[in-house]
Structure formats: structure tokens, C-alpha cells
Amino acid sequence: MSSERPLGPVPPKSVLARGLRLLDAFGPADTELSLAELSARTGLPKPTAYRLLRQLLAWGGVEQTPGGGYRLGLRLFTLGQQVPRQRELRRRALPYLEDLYEATHENVHLAVYHGTDTLFLEKLTGHRSTPIVSRPGSRLPGHCTATGKVFLALGPPERLHRTLDGGLSRLTPRTIVLAGMLRRELDRTRDRGYAVNVEESEIGVVAVAAPVLDGASRVIASISVTGGTHQIAVERLAPTICVAAKALSRELATASAS
């Protein structure tokens, strides 16, 4: 799938909106973008984009690479770490994620939903883990990830409608790209209480995810274990992930009620 993210032909008028548009042009797979690429994705003229990028450089929102391109800056990372709700969620989830990592030595994720994507807040991995593309702060389309399927299956109907309206992009030959097939997969997810991704976002990679619920039984996060197709036994691993997700859900519900 191309990492280019066209944002529409009409650029916003305010300086702030145009600066944010430049930041939002970076996709999950983008390590750096050129001035020409940023101009094309945002619809901003090159001189305007360049002027705004100089201001973002001074603030720390972007950094310039040795090759003359641009990448997102550390200032954005530090701001993200200060978001209270997600910081508290991550803090409480870490012990459960660590237990899952010790049990599997595979990649363990904590994710939330963002737009039509699953956004990885945390990832635990090690030298014995299967190499995969995800990283903290990165996103993948919700329909082809185990964590994303949890949100689509258990979230409000408009979340699924928005995903289907935007089209189901194909990342691998096994990605579900037909609405009817996705609906049936989400029905299975609801019935068994966990979601599965078999080579739908990466070839050779399997993931199992379970929902984290708040006190009102609304899905607010998802935790998953991701590894190679020959390392992950879905039926054996799923109960362990579900137990961890339920324990975290109880802790969050107790904390919010106190």
C-alpha cells in the first residue's frame, strides 16, 4: 500500500491549520518526506510549505534530515507523552503487557482507535520477537489488524460505517477488502471475544487481540500479541490475552469509580 496520504485539493487558510496539515501529511510508513512531497500531499505551494516548515523546525515539530528532507520532531513525541488519559492507560497497562511478553517473548501491543486506524500506544518486543513494522505512535488500517477488528466489532456502528465508506485498502493478498467478508469476520470476533489477524497486514505474521473495556462496557483499548505464523498458536494464546485484558478492564473500572 502506498504511504501517500492525499488530504484534499483545497488547503486551509489559517497559518495554524496549514502547519497542522503539514504534520498530518506524514503517514505511518514515512520516515521522511521531501518539500515536493509535502507540497503535493497538502496542496500548499512550495514557497508556503517551505516557510511553514522553517517555523516548525524552529519550534521542534519537524527536523531536517541530512538529505534535505523532513521528519517529525521530538517536540511532538514529548507532547504526546503528556496526554493525560493515554498516559494513565499506558501506565496501568504496562504490567499486563510485560506479563504477556514474558509468557510469549513476542511483540505485545496496547492500541487505541484513531479515525479509521488502530494507533499503537505501546509496544514491548525483544531480540527473540518476530520483526514487524509496528512501533509506538504508528498506525495501521483497522480492518486488517487484530486490534482494529476489536474496535470495529465492539465499537459504535458508525465506526464501521466510516471504515467501509473510506474503502478497504489491501496490504497483503490476505487482507479482507470486501464489506460482506469483513462483517462476517467481525461477527466471529464478537462471538469468540477476541480478534485474529492472519497475514492480513504483513505476510508471515499473525496477531491475536482482546478488548479493554471501561466501567460502562465500552471498548477503549485493545491489547494484542503478534508473531510469526509458526510461533503463534491462536487457540492456545487467546485465553491468556483475554484474561489480561479483562484484568486491566477491572482495574481501570475500579480506578475510575474511586
Question: Which run of H or of E encompasses 224?
Answer: strand 219-228
- Report the pLDDT averaged over residues 140-169: 96
Cell numbers describing residue 189: 470476533
Are 185 and 232 found together in one domain? yes
Answer whether residue 72 is part of any domain.
yes
Answer whether residue 162 is part of any domain.
yes
Q: What is the dihedral of CA 160, 206, 29, 62, to 10 degrees?
A: 90
Answer whether residue 3 is part of any domain.
no
Answer whether residue 6 is part of any domain.
no
Are 182 and 159 found together in one domain? yes
Are 67 and 148 found together in one domain? no
Are 193 and 137 found together in one domain? yes
Are 74 and 167 found together in one domain? no
The residue written with cell numbers 466471529 in the block is 188
CA pair distance 102, 225, nearest whole angstrom:
11
Does position 83 have pLDDT exceeding 70, yes or no? no
Name the DSSP class of 131.
P
Answer whether residue 245 is part of any domain.
yes
Are 38 and 94 found together in one domain? no
CA pair distance 189, 171, nearest whole angstrom:
21
The confidence score (pLDDT) of residue 28 equals 66
Domain extent, residue 169, equals 83-257
- Of 41, 57, 79, the residue at which a domain comes to its end is 79
The confidence score (pLDDT) of residue 131 equals 95
Angle at 114 between CA 220 and CA 44, to 5 degrees: 160
Are 95 and 180 found together in one domain? yes
- Yes or no: say if 160 and 179 are a contact pair by the CB < 8 Å rule: no
CATH of the domain at 219: 3.30.450.40
- Of 33, 52, 79, the residue at which a domain comes to its end is 79
- Give Cα 182 distance to the centre of its chain: 19
pLDDT band at residue 2 under the 50/70/90 scheme: very low
What's the count of helices (H) and strands (E) in the chain, helices before strands? Answer: 9, 8
Q: For the chain, how many structural domains are there in total?
A: 2
Are 46 and 94 found together in one domain? no
Answer whether residue 87 is part of any domain.
yes
Angle at 43 between CA 117 and CA 161, to 5 degrees: 30
Answer whether residue 7 is part of any domain.
no
Cell numbers describing residue 91: 501506565
Are 43 and 156 found together in one domain? no
The confidence score (pLDDT) of residue 194 equals 98
- Report the pLDDT averaged over residues 245-257: 91
More confident call, 196 vs 13: 196
Are 238 and 200 found together in one domain? yes
**3-class secondary-structure state, position 69:** coil
CA pair distance 198, 175, nearest whole angstrom:
9
CATH of the domain at 23: 1.10.10.10
- Of 25, 57, 79, the residue at which a domain comes to its end is 79
CA pair distance 139, 11, nearest whole angstrom:
24
Q: Which of 9-18, 36-45, 79-88 has the highest mean pLDDT?
A: 36-45
The confidence score (pLDDT) of residue 75 equals 81
Are 65 and 165 found together in one domain? no
Are 20 and 118 found together in one domain? no
> Residue type at 245?
A
The residue written with cell numbers 514557497 in the block is 47
